[in-house]
Structure 1
């Protein structure tokens, strides 16, 4: 019985590690900009960490994005950017 309990705990731990969490997602579409909110504790990191990573990824692609606060950012809506809800930032081994 103890071996079965240990196996279940290990299996649950592996499932958590291999999961893919949404760290940043669209929260608002206003004034020609898309606004994104990033979650604290997704993959054990702060919302500001995820904001910076997402911002860097979007900026590298040439999008007009900027930080808006501790865990938020916004991007200008241009033809190449597309819709607000088409972008998100995920983390975890299963992504």
Structure 2
């Protein structure tokens, strides 16, 4: 037994029960359902490119009601948070 040699892993010729050879792709590949439709998933990019891709996805999203709903929910949660920490909201209103 050599001290510097690593053991090689065993290889098996296993094919899944319900996998046909004509199927698309690798059956062992783990992929998210929506990865094919997003620009933000993929190669590692800089933070500026990530934000640009995210804004492009937001602009080109055909479901505008979902975006509006998310913004309303976020605004309500922010107001609840400000109420909990006893933030003075009168600074936003002029006399």
Q: In which range does the TM-score fall when normalised by the shorter chain?
A: under 0.3
Higher strand share: 1
Q: Which structure would you say has the larger Rg?
A: 2
Q: Pick 1 or 2: higher relative contact order, CA cutoff 8 A, min separation 6.
A: 1
- Give the structure-2-normalised TM-score: 0.28
Give the structure-1-normalised TM-score.
0.28
